[in-house]
Structure 1
Amino acid sequence: MTINSTPQVVTIAGSDSGGGAGVQADLKTFQNRHAFGMSIIVALTAQNTLGVQNAFPIPTEFITEQFTSLASDFNIKAAKTGMLADKEHVLCVVDNLKKVDFGPLVVDPVMIAKGGHALLSEDAIEVIKEELLPLAFVVTPNLPEAEVLVGYPVTTEEEMKKAAQDLQQLGVKHVIIKGGHLENGNAKDYVLLESGDSFWLESPRIETIKTHGTGDTFSSCIAAELAKGKSIKEAIIIGKRFIQGAIKEELFVGHGHGPTNHWAELADEVLLS
Protein backbone atom coordinates (compact mmCIF):
# COMPACT_ATOMS: atom_id res chain seq x y z
CA MET A 1 0.00 0.00 0.00
CA THR A 2 1.31 3.45 -0.91
CA ILE A 3 2.27 5.65 2.03
CA ASN A 4 -0.41 8.25 2.85
CA SER A 5 -2.93 6.84 0.35
CA THR A 6 -5.74 6.31 2.88
CA PRO A 7 -8.32 9.16 2.68
CA GLN A 8 -7.49 11.69 5.39
CA VAL A 9 -9.60 14.55 6.74
CA VAL A 10 -9.20 17.09 9.54
CA THR A 11 -11.63 18.95 11.76
CA ILE A 12 -10.69 22.43 12.99
CA ALA A 13 -13.11 23.05 15.82
CA GLY A 14 -13.92 22.98 19.52
CA SER A 15 -13.92 19.96 21.79
CA ASP A 16 -17.25 18.79 23.26
CA SER A 17 -16.60 17.03 26.56
CA GLY A 18 -20.04 15.43 26.25
CA GLY A 19 -19.05 13.70 23.01
CA GLY A 20 -22.10 14.64 20.95
CA ALA A 21 -20.86 17.60 18.94
CA GLY A 22 -17.65 19.39 18.00
CA VAL A 23 -14.43 17.51 17.37
CA GLN A 24 -15.80 14.34 18.93
CA ALA A 25 -18.81 14.20 16.59
CA ASP A 26 -16.59 14.95 13.62
CA LEU A 27 -14.11 12.17 14.40
CA LYS A 28 -16.90 9.65 14.95
CA THR A 29 -18.43 10.63 11.61
CA PHE A 30 -15.09 10.40 9.79
CA GLN A 31 -14.61 6.91 11.19
CA ASN A 32 -18.10 5.79 10.16
CA ARG A 33 -17.50 7.03 6.61
CA HIS A 34 -14.11 5.27 6.33
CA ALA A 35 -11.92 8.37 6.26
CA PHE A 36 -8.99 8.71 8.68
CA GLY A 37 -9.80 11.66 10.92
CA MET A 38 -7.54 14.06 12.77
CA SER A 39 -8.14 17.29 14.66
CA ILE A 40 -6.93 20.80 15.28
CA ILE A 41 -8.59 21.89 18.51
CA VAL A 42 -9.47 25.59 18.69
CA ALA A 43 -11.32 25.59 22.01
CA LEU A 44 -12.21 23.36 24.93
CA THR A 45 -15.70 23.24 26.40
CA ALA A 46 -17.23 21.87 29.56
CA GLN A 47 -20.59 20.70 28.26
CA ASN A 48 -23.16 17.94 28.32
CA THR A 49 -26.64 17.37 26.89
CA LEU A 50 -28.00 20.11 29.17
CA GLY A 51 -25.75 22.85 27.77
CA VAL A 52 -22.32 24.46 27.77
CA GLN A 53 -21.09 25.32 31.25
CA ASN A 54 -17.80 26.92 30.20
CA ALA A 55 -15.49 27.38 27.22
CA PHE A 56 -11.74 27.94 27.00
CA PRO A 57 -10.11 29.03 23.72
CA ILE A 58 -6.76 27.40 22.99
CA PRO A 59 -3.76 29.78 22.68
CA THR A 60 -3.34 30.70 19.01
CA GLU A 61 0.34 29.73 19.04
CA PHE A 62 -0.65 26.17 19.89
CA ILE A 63 -3.29 26.14 17.14
CA THR A 64 -0.54 27.08 14.67
CA GLU A 65 1.64 24.28 16.04
CA GLN A 66 -1.16 21.80 15.42
CA PHE A 67 -1.48 22.98 11.80
CA THR A 68 2.30 22.72 11.30
CA SER A 69 2.46 19.26 12.84
CA LEU A 70 -0.30 17.80 10.66
CA ALA A 71 0.89 19.48 7.46
CA SER A 72 4.39 18.05 7.92
CA ASP A 73 3.26 14.42 7.96
CA PHE A 74 -0.21 13.74 6.59
CA ASN A 75 -1.84 13.88 3.16
CA ILE A 76 -5.03 15.68 4.14
CA LYS A 77 -7.61 15.73 1.35
CA ALA A 78 -10.40 17.76 3.01
CA ALA A 79 -10.97 19.92 6.08
CA LYS A 80 -13.89 21.37 7.99
CA THR A 81 -14.27 24.13 10.54
CA GLY A 82 -16.68 24.25 13.45
CA MET A 83 -16.51 26.34 16.63
CA LEU A 84 -13.89 29.07 16.13
CA ALA A 85 -14.56 31.08 19.32
CA ASP A 86 -13.67 34.68 18.46
CA LYS A 87 -12.05 37.10 16.02
CA GLU A 88 -8.49 36.30 17.10
CA HIS A 89 -9.00 32.57 16.60
CA VAL A 90 -10.78 32.94 13.27
CA LEU A 91 -7.87 35.04 11.99
CA CYS A 92 -5.40 32.45 13.26
CA VAL A 93 -7.24 29.65 11.46
CA VAL A 94 -7.52 31.71 8.26
CA ASP A 95 -3.82 32.55 8.33
CA ASN A 96 -2.87 28.91 8.73
CA LEU A 97 -5.28 27.66 6.08
CA LYS A 98 -3.57 29.96 3.60
CA LYS A 99 -0.23 28.29 4.35
CA VAL A 100 -1.25 24.64 3.98
CA ASP A 101 -3.03 22.52 1.38
CA PHE A 102 -5.72 20.59 3.25
CA GLY A 103 -8.00 20.20 0.22
CA PRO A 104 -11.57 21.51 -0.04
CA LEU A 105 -12.78 23.34 3.06
CA VAL A 106 -16.23 22.80 4.55
CA VAL A 107 -17.27 25.71 6.77
CA ASP A 108 -19.90 25.01 9.39
CA PRO A 109 -20.46 28.52 10.81
CA VAL A 110 -21.13 27.42 14.39
CA MET A 111 -22.50 30.30 16.45
CA ILE A 112 -24.86 29.08 19.17
CA ALA A 113 -24.97 25.79 21.09
CA LYS A 114 -28.27 23.90 21.43
CA GLY A 115 -28.65 25.24 24.97
CA GLY A 116 -28.15 28.84 23.85
CA HIS A 117 -24.50 29.37 24.81
CA ALA A 118 -22.63 31.59 22.33
CA LEU A 119 -19.80 29.71 20.58
CA LEU A 120 -18.71 32.65 18.43
CA SER A 121 -18.20 36.26 19.50
CA GLU A 122 -19.98 39.01 17.57
CA ASP A 123 -16.74 40.60 16.43
CA ALA A 124 -15.84 37.38 14.59
CA ILE A 125 -18.85 37.47 12.23
CA GLU A 126 -17.38 39.98 9.78
CA VAL A 127 -14.05 38.16 9.79
CA ILE A 128 -15.78 34.94 8.85
CA LYS A 129 -17.61 36.72 6.03
CA GLU A 130 -14.58 38.61 4.72
CA GLU A 131 -11.72 36.19 5.40
CA LEU A 132 -12.96 32.62 5.93
CA LEU A 133 -15.82 32.23 3.46
CA PRO A 134 -13.67 33.16 0.44
CA LEU A 135 -11.50 30.14 1.35
CA ALA A 136 -14.50 27.82 1.65
CA PHE A 137 -15.46 25.15 -0.84
CA VAL A 138 -18.89 24.81 0.78
CA VAL A 139 -20.68 26.51 3.68
CA THR A 140 -23.50 24.86 5.67
CA PRO A 141 -25.47 27.39 7.78
CA ASN A 142 -28.81 26.66 9.38
CA LEU A 143 -31.47 29.37 9.16
CA PRO A 144 -30.41 31.41 12.25
CA GLU A 145 -26.76 31.28 11.13
CA ALA A 146 -27.72 32.27 7.59
CA GLU A 147 -29.65 35.25 8.94
CA VAL A 148 -26.60 36.48 10.84
CA LEU A 149 -24.36 36.10 7.79
CA VAL A 150 -26.67 37.85 5.30
CA GLY A 151 -28.22 40.38 7.69
CA TYR A 152 -31.91 39.76 7.03
CA PRO A 153 -34.60 37.22 8.01
CA VAL A 154 -34.45 33.80 6.36
CA THR A 155 -37.78 32.17 7.15
CA THR A 156 -39.19 31.04 3.79
CA GLU A 157 -38.01 28.95 0.86
CA GLU A 158 -37.63 32.05 -1.31
CA GLU A 159 -35.54 33.73 1.36
CA MET A 160 -33.37 30.59 1.56
CA LYS A 161 -32.69 30.88 -2.16
CA LYS A 162 -31.79 34.55 -1.86
CA ALA A 163 -29.54 33.92 1.13
CA ALA A 164 -27.67 31.20 -0.77
CA GLN A 165 -27.07 33.57 -3.69
CA ASP A 166 -25.85 36.32 -1.36
CA LEU A 167 -23.51 33.97 0.49
CA GLN A 168 -22.07 32.83 -2.82
CA GLN A 169 -21.28 36.46 -3.58
CA LEU A 170 -18.96 36.44 -0.55
CA GLY A 171 -16.69 34.01 -2.38
CA VAL A 172 -17.77 30.56 -1.21
CA LYS A 173 -18.25 28.13 -4.11
CA HIS A 174 -21.16 25.99 -2.90
CA VAL A 175 -23.88 26.84 -0.36
CA ILE A 176 -26.25 24.67 1.65
CA ILE A 177 -28.98 26.45 3.60
CA LYS A 178 -30.33 23.96 6.11
CA GLY A 179 -34.07 24.35 6.58
CA GLY A 180 -34.60 22.30 9.70
CA HIS A 181 -35.89 25.37 11.55
CA LEU A 182 -38.77 25.84 9.09
CA GLU A 183 -41.97 25.01 10.92
CA ASN A 184 -44.05 23.26 8.26
CA GLY A 185 -43.77 20.00 6.34
CA ASN A 186 -40.67 17.95 5.73
CA ALA A 187 -37.15 19.10 6.56
CA LYS A 188 -35.82 20.78 3.40
CA ASP A 189 -32.32 22.02 2.62
CA TYR A 190 -31.52 24.27 -0.33
CA VAL A 191 -28.29 23.65 -2.26
CA LEU A 192 -26.73 26.17 -4.65
CA LEU A 193 -23.69 24.93 -6.55
CA GLU A 194 -20.89 27.00 -8.06
CA SER A 195 -22.21 26.17 -11.54
CA GLY A 196 -25.51 27.89 -10.74
CA ASP A 197 -27.36 24.56 -10.56
CA SER A 198 -29.54 24.19 -7.49
CA PHE A 199 -31.73 21.59 -5.85
CA TRP A 200 -33.65 20.79 -2.68
CA LEU A 201 -32.96 17.88 -0.36
CA GLU A 202 -36.08 16.81 1.51
CA SER A 203 -36.58 14.25 4.27
CA PRO A 204 -39.36 13.39 6.73
CA ARG A 205 -39.24 15.52 9.85
CA ILE A 206 -38.41 13.49 12.98
CA GLU A 207 -39.92 14.74 16.25
CA THR A 208 -37.11 14.40 18.78
CA ILE A 209 -34.90 16.46 21.08
CA LYS A 210 -31.92 14.19 20.34
CA THR A 211 -30.37 16.57 17.82
CA HIS A 212 -27.19 17.69 19.58
CA GLY A 213 -24.39 17.89 17.02
CA THR A 214 -26.51 17.63 13.88
CA GLY A 215 -24.70 20.47 12.10
CA ASP A 216 -21.27 19.09 12.98
CA THR A 217 -22.24 15.59 11.87
CA PHE A 218 -23.72 16.74 8.55
CA SER A 219 -20.75 18.93 7.62
CA SER A 220 -18.15 16.40 8.73
CA CYS A 221 -19.80 13.70 6.63
CA ILE A 222 -19.54 15.99 3.60
CA ALA A 223 -15.85 16.59 4.37
CA ALA A 224 -15.19 12.84 4.69
CA GLU A 225 -16.83 12.15 1.33
CA LEU A 226 -14.83 14.94 -0.34
CA ALA A 227 -11.63 13.44 1.11
CA LYS A 228 -12.59 10.15 -0.54
CA GLY A 229 -12.92 11.88 -3.92
CA LYS A 230 -16.69 12.19 -4.17
CA SER A 231 -18.16 15.09 -6.15
CA ILE A 232 -19.70 17.93 -4.17
CA LYS A 233 -23.21 16.85 -5.14
CA GLU A 234 -22.57 13.25 -4.12
CA ALA A 235 -21.00 14.37 -0.84
CA ILE A 236 -23.96 16.58 0.04
CA ILE A 237 -26.54 13.89 -0.71
CA ILE A 238 -24.63 11.32 1.37
CA GLY A 239 -24.33 13.89 4.15
CA LYS A 240 -28.09 14.40 4.16
CA ARG A 241 -28.74 10.64 4.17
CA PHE A 242 -26.25 10.18 7.00
CA ILE A 243 -27.67 12.86 9.28
CA GLN A 244 -31.20 11.64 8.61
CA GLY A 245 -30.18 8.16 9.74
CA ALA A 246 -28.25 9.55 12.71
CA ILE A 247 -31.38 11.35 13.95
CA LYS A 248 -33.76 8.51 13.11
CA GLU A 249 -31.78 5.77 14.90
CA GLU A 250 -32.04 7.31 18.36
CA LEU A 251 -29.53 7.04 21.18
CA PHE A 252 -30.53 7.39 24.83
CA VAL A 253 -27.74 9.42 26.43
CA GLY A 254 -28.01 12.22 28.99
CA HIS A 255 -30.96 14.22 30.33
CA GLY A 256 -31.25 17.01 27.74
CA HIS A 257 -30.67 17.46 24.01
CA GLY A 258 -29.13 14.07 23.36
CA PRO A 259 -26.60 13.36 20.60
CA THR A 260 -27.23 11.91 17.17
CA ASN A 261 -26.18 8.35 16.42
CA HIS A 262 -22.80 8.29 14.70
CA TRP A 263 -22.90 4.59 13.92
CA ALA A 264 -26.23 4.88 12.08
CA GLU A 265 -26.78 3.67 8.53
CA LEU A 266 -27.53 5.99 5.61
CA ALA A 267 -31.27 6.71 5.45
CA ASP A 268 -33.14 5.96 2.22
CA GLU A 269 -35.98 8.49 2.57
CA VAL A 270 -34.09 11.55 1.26
CA LEU A 271 -35.72 13.09 -1.81
CA LEU A 272 -33.94 15.22 -4.40
CA SER A 273 -35.95 17.88 -6.23
Structure 2
Amino acid sequence: MFRNLDSFRWGLMEGFACRAEKGTASVKCRSVRTEANDTADVKEGRDMERRTETLALPNQQTVDYPSFKLVLVGDGGTGKTTFVKRHLTGEFEKKYEPTIGVEVHPLDFFTNCGKIRFYCWDTAGQEKFGGLRDGYYIHGQCAIIMFDVTARLTYKNVPTWHRDLCRVCESIPIVLCGNKVDVKNRQVKAKQVTFHRKKNLQYYEISAKSNYNFEKPFLYLARKLAGDPNLHFVESPALAPPEVQIDLAAQQQHEAELAAAAAQPLPDDDDDVFD
Protein backbone atom coordinates (compact mmCIF):
# COMPACT_ATOMS: atom_id res chain seq x y z
CA MET A 1 0.00 0.00 0.00
CA PHE A 2 2.83 2.38 0.86
CA ARG A 3 5.84 2.30 -1.41
CA ASN A 4 9.31 1.53 -0.03
CA LEU A 5 7.74 0.30 3.22
CA ASP A 6 10.19 -2.57 3.72
CA SER A 7 13.33 -0.50 3.20
CA PHE A 8 11.92 2.28 5.35
CA ARG A 9 10.97 -0.09 8.16
CA TRP A 10 14.21 -2.02 8.20
CA GLY A 11 16.35 1.08 7.87
CA LEU A 12 14.72 2.51 10.94
CA MET A 13 14.90 -0.74 12.85
CA GLU A 14 18.59 -1.21 12.14
CA GLY A 15 19.44 2.32 13.17
CA PHE A 16 17.50 2.36 16.41
CA ALA A 17 16.96 -1.31 17.26
CA CYS A 18 13.30 -0.54 16.84
CA ARG A 19 10.89 -3.32 17.60
CA ALA A 20 7.22 -3.41 16.73
CA GLU A 21 5.29 -2.43 19.81
CA LYS A 22 1.87 -3.55 20.98
CA GLY A 23 -1.30 -1.62 21.57
CA THR A 24 -4.11 0.00 19.66
CA ALA A 25 -5.88 2.06 22.29
CA SER A 26 -4.91 4.65 24.87
CA VAL A 27 -3.62 3.34 28.19
CA LYS A 28 -3.79 5.13 31.51
CA CYS A 29 -1.14 4.14 34.06
CA ARG A 30 -1.45 5.42 37.59
CA SER A 31 1.14 5.29 40.33
CA VAL A 32 0.26 3.34 43.48
CA ARG A 33 3.19 4.70 45.48
CA THR A 34 2.79 6.64 48.70
CA GLU A 35 3.59 10.32 48.96
CA ALA A 36 6.40 9.61 51.41
CA ASN A 37 8.04 7.48 48.72
CA ASP A 38 7.66 10.07 46.01
CA THR A 39 11.08 10.04 44.30
CA ALA A 40 11.38 7.49 41.49
CA ASP A 41 14.72 5.97 40.51
CA VAL A 42 15.54 4.17 37.32
CA LYS A 43 15.24 0.68 38.82
CA GLU A 44 11.69 1.38 39.94
CA GLY A 45 11.08 2.84 36.51
CA ARG A 46 12.12 -0.36 34.79
CA ASP A 47 9.76 -2.29 37.04
CA MET A 48 7.00 0.16 36.14
CA GLU A 49 7.62 -0.21 32.43
CA ARG A 50 7.51 -4.00 32.72
CA ARG A 51 4.18 -3.69 34.50
CA THR A 52 2.71 -1.32 31.93
CA GLU A 53 3.83 -3.56 29.07
CA THR A 54 1.71 -6.38 30.53
CA LEU A 55 -1.52 -4.38 30.31
CA ALA A 56 -3.76 -6.37 27.98
CA LEU A 57 -5.94 -4.43 25.59
CA PRO A 58 -8.78 -5.63 23.39
CA ASN A 59 -7.69 -6.53 19.84
CA GLN A 60 -4.04 -6.21 20.81
CA GLN A 61 -1.82 -6.72 17.79
CA THR A 62 1.74 -6.25 16.57
CA VAL A 63 2.17 -3.45 14.07
CA ASP A 64 4.14 -4.13 10.88
CA TYR A 65 5.45 -0.61 10.38
CA PRO A 66 8.02 1.49 12.28
CA SER A 67 6.93 2.56 15.73
CA PHE A 68 8.73 4.67 18.31
CA LYS A 69 8.26 5.68 21.90
CA LEU A 70 7.84 9.46 22.11
CA VAL A 71 8.02 11.02 25.58
CA LEU A 72 6.02 14.24 26.01
CA VAL A 73 7.03 16.30 29.06
CA GLY A 74 6.51 19.77 30.50
CA ASP A 75 4.73 21.58 33.31
CA GLY A 76 1.06 20.97 33.98
CA GLY A 77 -1.27 23.19 32.00
CA THR A 78 1.09 23.79 29.09
CA GLY A 79 -1.23 21.99 26.68
CA LYS A 80 0.45 18.59 26.28
CA THR A 81 -2.71 16.51 26.46
CA THR A 82 -4.64 18.95 24.28
CA PHE A 83 -1.83 18.77 21.72
CA VAL A 84 -2.07 14.97 21.61
CA LYS A 85 -5.87 14.87 21.51
CA ARG A 86 -5.86 17.32 18.63
CA HIS A 87 -4.29 14.51 16.62
CA LEU A 88 -6.27 11.64 18.13
CA THR A 89 -9.75 13.12 17.94
CA GLY A 90 -9.41 16.54 16.33
CA GLU A 91 -10.86 18.05 19.51
CA PHE A 92 -9.62 20.97 21.57
CA GLU A 93 -9.77 20.44 25.33
CA LYS A 94 -11.14 23.66 26.82
CA LYS A 95 -11.26 22.36 30.39
CA TYR A 96 -7.92 21.57 32.02
CA GLU A 97 -7.83 18.17 33.66
CA PRO A 98 -4.35 17.20 34.90
CA THR A 99 -2.88 13.95 33.66
CA ILE A 100 -2.38 11.40 36.44
CA GLY A 101 0.81 9.40 35.97
CA VAL A 102 0.98 8.86 32.22
CA GLU A 103 -1.32 8.29 29.26
CA VAL A 104 -0.06 6.39 26.22
CA HIS A 105 -1.54 7.21 22.83
CA PRO A 106 -0.72 5.78 19.37
CA LEU A 107 -0.28 8.61 16.85
CA ASP A 108 -0.09 7.55 13.20
CA PHE A 109 1.41 9.53 10.34
CA PHE A 110 1.70 8.66 6.66
CA THR A 111 4.96 9.53 4.93
CA ASN A 112 6.31 9.21 1.40
CA CYS A 113 8.06 6.05 2.63
CA GLY A 114 5.12 4.49 4.44
CA LYS A 115 3.26 4.64 7.72
CA ILE A 116 4.97 5.51 10.99
CA ARG A 117 3.58 5.41 14.53
CA PHE A 118 4.60 7.34 17.61
CA TYR A 119 3.54 5.83 20.91
CA CYS A 120 3.18 9.13 22.73
CA TRP A 121 3.73 8.90 26.49
CA ASP A 122 1.92 11.97 27.78
CA THR A 123 3.37 12.42 31.27
CA ALA A 124 1.91 14.32 34.21
CA GLY A 125 3.29 17.83 34.56
CA GLN A 126 2.21 18.39 38.15
CA GLU A 127 4.52 16.96 40.80
CA LYS A 128 1.72 15.44 42.87
CA PHE A 129 0.55 13.42 39.86
CA GLY A 130 4.01 12.56 38.57
CA GLY A 131 4.17 8.98 39.85
CA LEU A 132 7.18 7.03 38.60
CA ARG A 133 8.23 9.86 36.31
CA ASP A 134 11.73 8.63 35.43
CA GLY A 135 10.30 5.20 34.78
CA TYR A 136 8.04 6.56 32.07
CA TYR A 137 11.10 7.80 30.14
CA ILE A 138 12.86 4.43 29.87
CA HIS A 139 13.33 3.23 26.27
CA GLY A 140 12.22 6.63 25.00
CA GLN A 141 13.43 7.11 21.42
CA CYS A 142 12.44 10.75 20.95
CA ALA A 143 10.86 13.51 23.01
CA ILE A 144 8.95 16.79 23.04
CA ILE A 145 9.41 19.29 25.87
CA MET A 146 6.52 21.75 26.03
CA PHE A 147 6.13 25.09 27.77
CA ASP A 148 3.47 27.79 27.73
CA VAL A 149 4.53 31.14 26.24
CA THR A 150 1.98 32.87 28.50
CA ALA A 151 3.56 31.50 31.71
CA ARG A 152 7.21 32.30 32.43
CA LEU A 153 7.62 29.61 35.07
CA THR A 154 6.88 26.87 32.56
CA TYR A 155 9.84 28.03 30.47
CA LYS A 156 12.11 28.41 33.49
CA ASN A 157 11.39 24.77 34.30
CA VAL A 158 12.44 23.54 30.84
CA PRO A 159 16.07 22.88 31.92
CA THR A 160 14.81 20.61 34.71
CA TRP A 161 12.64 18.61 32.33
CA HIS A 162 15.54 18.34 29.88
CA ARG A 163 18.00 17.22 32.55
CA ASP A 164 15.67 14.55 33.93
CA LEU A 165 14.87 13.31 30.44
CA CYS A 166 18.50 13.11 29.32
CA ARG A 167 19.51 11.32 32.50
CA VAL A 168 17.41 8.37 31.35
CA CYS A 169 17.33 8.80 27.56
CA GLU A 170 20.73 9.69 26.15
CA SER A 171 21.26 11.03 22.64
CA ILE A 172 17.67 11.03 21.45
CA PRO A 173 16.17 13.71 19.18
CA ILE A 174 14.29 16.31 21.25
CA VAL A 175 11.97 19.12 20.16
CA LEU A 176 11.22 22.12 22.36
CA CYS A 177 7.74 23.57 21.78
CA GLY A 178 6.39 26.90 22.95
CA ASN A 179 2.61 26.47 22.99
CA LYS A 180 -0.28 29.00 23.00
CA VAL A 181 1.31 31.51 20.63
CA ASP A 182 -2.21 32.49 19.59
CA VAL A 183 -2.67 34.28 22.95
CA LYS A 184 -2.14 38.04 22.84
CA ASN A 185 -0.53 38.66 26.24
CA ARG A 186 2.54 36.56 25.62
CA GLN A 187 4.97 36.50 28.57
CA VAL A 188 7.87 34.57 27.02
CA LYS A 189 9.07 36.42 23.91
CA ALA A 190 10.89 34.71 21.06
CA LYS A 191 14.14 36.48 21.97
CA GLN A 192 13.87 35.07 25.49
CA VAL A 193 13.78 31.46 24.31
CA THR A 194 17.43 30.46 24.18
CA PHE A 195 17.63 27.07 25.88
CA HIS A 196 17.28 25.12 22.64
CA ARG A 197 20.28 26.91 21.16
CA LYS A 198 22.44 26.00 24.14
CA LYS A 199 21.44 22.33 23.97
CA ASN A 200 21.18 22.01 20.18
CA LEU A 201 17.46 21.25 20.22
CA GLN A 202 14.90 22.00 17.54
CA TYR A 203 12.40 24.69 18.58
CA TYR A 204 8.90 25.35 17.26
CA GLU A 205 6.24 27.79 18.31
CA ILE A 206 2.87 26.09 18.15
CA SER A 207 -0.79 26.59 18.98
CA ALA A 208 -2.99 23.60 19.72
CA LYS A 209 -5.98 25.94 19.59
CA SER A 210 -5.31 27.17 16.06
CA ASN A 211 -3.48 24.09 14.65
CA TYR A 212 -0.50 26.39 13.97
CA ASN A 213 2.67 24.36 13.24
CA PHE A 214 0.91 21.27 14.54
CA GLU A 215 2.77 18.74 12.38
CA LYS A 216 6.26 20.24 12.57
CA PRO A 217 7.47 18.57 15.79
CA PHE A 218 6.38 15.15 14.53
CA LEU A 219 7.90 15.68 11.08
CA TYR A 220 11.23 16.76 12.57
CA LEU A 221 11.35 13.69 14.82
CA ALA A 222 10.35 11.35 11.98
CA ARG A 223 13.15 12.72 9.80
CA LYS A 224 15.70 12.33 12.58
CA LEU A 225 14.62 8.78 13.38
CA ALA A 226 14.62 7.81 9.70
CA GLY A 227 17.88 9.60 8.97
CA ASP A 228 16.18 11.16 5.96
CA PRO A 229 15.89 14.97 5.77
CA ASN A 230 13.68 14.64 2.68
CA LEU A 231 11.01 12.52 4.35
CA HIS A 232 7.63 14.25 4.29
CA PHE A 233 4.03 13.60 5.26
CA VAL A 234 1.70 12.69 2.41
CA GLU A 235 -1.52 12.96 4.38
CA SER A 236 -2.61 15.57 6.91
CA PRO A 237 -4.20 14.55 10.22
CA ALA A 238 -7.98 14.97 10.29
CA LEU A 239 -7.98 17.99 12.58
CA ALA A 240 -11.11 19.86 13.56
CA PRO A 241 -11.35 23.47 12.36
CA PRO A 242 -9.19 25.77 14.49
CA GLU A 243 -10.77 27.48 17.50
CA VAL A 244 -8.94 30.68 16.59
CA GLN A 245 -7.11 31.88 13.50
CA ILE A 246 -3.52 33.09 13.31
CA ASP A 247 -3.51 35.26 10.22
CA LEU A 248 -0.69 35.40 7.70
CA ALA A 249 0.66 38.69 9.05
CA ALA A 250 0.92 37.25 12.57
CA GLN A 251 2.65 34.13 11.24
CA GLN A 252 5.16 36.25 9.35
CA GLN A 253 5.77 38.30 12.47
CA HIS A 254 6.42 35.11 14.46
CA GLU A 255 8.93 33.94 11.87
CA ALA A 256 10.67 37.32 11.80
CA GLU A 257 10.94 37.39 15.59
CA LEU A 258 12.37 33.88 15.65
CA ALA A 259 14.92 34.76 12.97
CA ALA A 260 15.96 37.89 14.86
CA ALA A 261 16.24 35.93 18.11
CA ALA A 262 18.45 33.31 16.45
CA ALA A 263 20.85 36.05 15.35
CA GLN A 264 21.33 37.38 18.89
CA PRO A 265 24.28 36.24 21.05
CA LEU A 266 23.41 33.74 23.73
CA PRO A 267 23.14 35.02 27.33
CA ASP A 268 25.22 33.34 30.00
CA ASP A 269 22.12 32.39 31.94
CA ASP A 270 18.53 31.94 30.78
CA ASP A 271 17.33 33.72 33.93
CA ASP A 272 18.90 36.93 32.62
CA VAL A 273 16.26 37.28 29.91
CA PHE A 274 13.52 37.84 32.48
CA ASP A 275 15.32 40.47 34.55
TM-score by length of 2: 0.42
Q: Give the greater-gyration-radius structure (CA).
A: 2
TM-score by length of 1: 0.42
